[in-house]
Amino acid sequence: MFERFTKTARVIVRDGVHLAEQERAALIRPEHLLLAILKHGDTTSAKILAAHGVTTAAVTEAIAQAHRRGGLSQADTAALSEVGIDVDAIVEALESTHGEGALAPARRRRAFGPRWRVPIAPESKKLLERTLREALARKDSTIGDEHLLLALLAEQGVVADILAGFGVTHRTVTAELAQAG
Entry field: residues in the chain:
181
Tell me: the pLDDT tens digits for 77-131? 777 788 888 777 776 776 677 777 666 666 655 555 555 578 899 999 999 999 9
Give me the pLDDT at residue 26, please.
86
Angle at Cα 26 formed by Cα 40 and Cα 77, nearest 5°? 80
Q: With pLDDT > 90 as the criterion, what percentage of the chain qualifies?
A: 58
Do 162 and 62 meet the contact criterion of CB atoms below 8 Å apart? yes
Give me the pLDDT at residue 35, please.
97
- Tell me, what amino acid is at 153? L
- 2-69+119-180: CATH, from 1.10.10.10, 1.10.1740.10, 1.10.1780.10, 3.40.50.300: 1.10.1780.10
- Distance (Å, whole) CA 147 – CA 9: 9
Give me the pLDDT at residue 90, please.
77
In the three-class reduction of DSSP (H, G, I as helix; E, B as strand; rest coil), residue 143 is classed as strand
Give me the pLDDT at residue 95, please.
67
Task: Give how far Cα 110 sits from Cα of 100, 103, 106, 118, Å.
Answer: 20, 20, 12, 12
> In a 10 Å sphere around its CB, with 0-12 CB exposed, 13-18 middle and 19+ buried, how is residue 145 labelled?
buried
* Torsion-angle region of 29 (φ positive above 0: left; ψ -120 to 50: alpha; else: beta): beta
Task: Quote the DSSP letter at residue 25.
Answer: B
In the three-class reduction of DSSP (H, G, I as helix; E, B as strand; rest coil), residue 150 is classed as helix
C-alpha closest to that of 30 among 131, 103, 108: 131
Single pTM value for the model:
0.83
Select the more confidently predicted residue: 111 or 46: 46
